[in-house]
């Protein structure tokens, strides 16, 4: 049964350099002893949560920069997971890579390990924008990475792009898209820059050293992305995600559809059997707990029926197809049109939501003001 299938996320926190906008749980560390200790802890965590009768149909290896560590580390990790869980024959196995951190040899080892989907973090085509973001790569290294991927036989390739960047223009966004389209990836993740507190980039913006496009320009960038990708055969299926038909991210859809995802590694967040829980963020504490055979969990929270319904609704509305009224009734034995009648009617009157048959979905205006829509259900 589909409902019984599990998604697994593995967090690899290591980076060669921290990007200026990043507030993820990642650290600059290329010390082999520390990397070895972390992977040993990760394999111990896998053994502690093993469920040999649990079917896994998506595995996502993220970070950090998973491609900054040796390919054999990733292969050993996948082997440990296969011993602990039952993998679907067509399990989607994704790894995040950064240009400049992969070789042909490393990609061959990924393929042998069963990885069948690669997410490439480009962010922008122009070298001056990459430098302002603090990325470690340049345009030529992205081209090299895509060439390696094609040569080693990877067919399911996603590319990350950002808009709303300091110094970025509409023409730059268009150039980024057109250049990447020439490589024919199967998937795009396109999202606007979020200025997180206390990051070096936010500090530069606050000091006036960097100037971001205004809200109107950022919306123009979003709709340019939308128009150009739709014209080139990509289906806009989630606010930040575009895919060729059949290449939607199975793993990410689990988040938007509130399906079970077990997250492993330092600072990783799970949603499993109605509970949200996280692992300790501190890498050293995470390793220490697992050396003692203890799960490094914290922040355990069991969702109430009300929380579950609200999350199902506002996470589901990230999908461009929207949320099904009948699916909600089947799952919760209740009707969102009754529970959230006032909120929904107000959002419809503001032209942020629309009803289409059994579905409630964002309008184009609703995409521009999506956070306002989601907050109505929290």
What's the pLDDT score for residue 210? 82
pLDDT at 95 over 70: yes
Interatomic CA distance for residues 99 and 190, integer angstroms: 17
- For 147, phi then psi, to 5°, come to -65, -45
Q: Which of 12-26, 77-91, 209-223, 253-267 has the lowest mean pLDDT?
A: 12-26
Note whether 293 and 43 are within 8 A (CB): no
Tell me whether domains 2-256 and 305-375 share a fold.
no
Residue-level pLDDT at 1: 37
For the cut 50, the answer to whether the pLDDT of residue 66 exceeds it is yes
Give the confidence band of 123 by pLDDT, cuts at 50, 70, 90: very high
Residues 51, 56, 61, 62, Cα dihedral to 10° = -100
The pLDDT, as a whole number, for residue 25 is: 58
Q: What angle do CA 83, 89, 92 make, to 5 degrees?
A: 90
CATH (residue range 2-256): 3.20.20.70
% of residues, the chain, pLDDT over 90: 82
> pTM value?
0.94
Question: Which tens digit of pLDDT belongs to each residue from 226-265?
Answer: 999 999 999 999 999 999 999 999 999 999 999 999 999 9
Q: Are strands 241-243 and 187-192 parallel, antiparallel or unpaired?
A: antiparallel
**In the structure, what pLDDT confidence band is assigned to residue 21 with cuts at 50, 70 and 90?**
low
Best CA proximity match to 204, nearest among 121, 126, 134, 139: 134
pLDDT in tens, 125-149: 999 999 888 888 899 999 999 999 9
For residue 164, pLDDT over 60 is answered with: yes
Residue 63 has pLDDT above 70, yes or no: yes
Computed over every residue of the chain, the mean pLDDT equals 92
Residue 200 has pLDDT above 60, yes or no: yes
Higher-scoring residue by pLDDT: 84, 30: 84
User: How would residue 24 be classed by pLDDT, with cut points 50, 70 and 90?
Assistant: low
Domain ranges of the chain: 2-256, 305-375
Q: For residue 2, is pLDDT > 70?
A: no
| Whether pLDDT at 336 is above 80 | yes
pLDDT > 80? residue 28: no
The span from the CA of 229 to the CA of 244, in Å, is 10
pLDDT digits (tens, 9 = 90+) for 294-320: 999 987 899 999 999 999 999 999 999
The CATH class for the domain spanning 305-375 reads mainly alpha
pLDDT, tens digit (0-9, with 9 covering 90-100), for 7-18:
999 999 987 776
Residues 192-202, mean pLDDT to the nearest whole number:
80
Model confidence at 343: pLDDT above 80: yes
The pLDDT assigned to 230 comes to 97
Residue 376 pLDDT > 80: yes
User: What pLDDT was estimated at residue 212?
Assistant: 87
pLDDT range class, residue 378, cuts 50, 70, 90: confident
Mean pLDDT, residues 111-115 = 97
* Position 19 pLDDT exceeds 80: no
Average pLDDT over residues 52-76: 94
């Amino acid at each position: 049964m589909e409902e019984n299938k599990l998604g697994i996320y593995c967090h690899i926190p290591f980076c060669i350099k921290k990007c200026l906008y990043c507030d993820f749980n990642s650290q600059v560390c290329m010390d082999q002893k520390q990397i070895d200790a972390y992977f040993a802890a990760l394999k111990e965590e896998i053994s502690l949560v093993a469920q040999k009768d649990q079917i896994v149909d998506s595995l996502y290896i993220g970070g950090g920069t998973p491609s900054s560590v040796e390919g054999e580390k990733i292969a050993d990790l996948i082997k440990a997971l296969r011993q602990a869980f039952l993998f679907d024959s067509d399990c989607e196995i994704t790894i995040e890579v950064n240009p400049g951190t992969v070789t042909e040899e490393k990609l061959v080892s990924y393929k042998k390990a069963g990885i069948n989907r690669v997410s490439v973090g480009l962010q922008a085509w122009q070298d001056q924008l990459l430098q302002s973001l603090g990325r470690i790569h340049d345009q030529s290294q992205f081209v090299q990475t895509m060439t390696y991927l094609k040569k080693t036989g990877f067919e399911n390739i996603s590319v990350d792009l950002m808009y709303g960047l300091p110094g970025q223009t509409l023409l730059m966004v268009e150039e980024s898209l057109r250049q990447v389209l020439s490589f024919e990836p199967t998937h795009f993740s396109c999202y606007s820059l979020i200025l997180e507190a206390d990051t070096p980039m936010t500090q530069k913006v606050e000091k006036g050293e960097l100037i971001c496009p205004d809200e109107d320009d950022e919306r123009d960038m979003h709709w340019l992305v939308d128009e150009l990708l739709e014209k080139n055969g990509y289906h806009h299926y989630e606010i930040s995600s575009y895919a060729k038909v059949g290449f939607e991210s199975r793993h990410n859809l689990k988040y938007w559809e509130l399906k079970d995802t077990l997250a492993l590694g330092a600072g990783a967040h799970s949603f499993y059997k109605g509970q949200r829980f996280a692992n300790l963020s501190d890498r050293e504490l995470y390793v220490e707990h697992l050396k003692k055979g203890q799960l490094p969990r914290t922040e355990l929270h069991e969702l109430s029926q009300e929380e579950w319904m609200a999350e199902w609704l506002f996470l589901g509305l990230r999908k461009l197809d929207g949320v099904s009224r009948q699916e909600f009734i089947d799952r919760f034995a209740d009707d969102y049109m009754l529970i959230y009648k006032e909120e929904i009617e107000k959002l419809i009157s503001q032209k942020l939501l629309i009803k289409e048959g059994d579905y409630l979905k964002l309008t184009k205006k609703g995409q521009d003001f999506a956070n306002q829509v989601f907050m109505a259900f929290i």
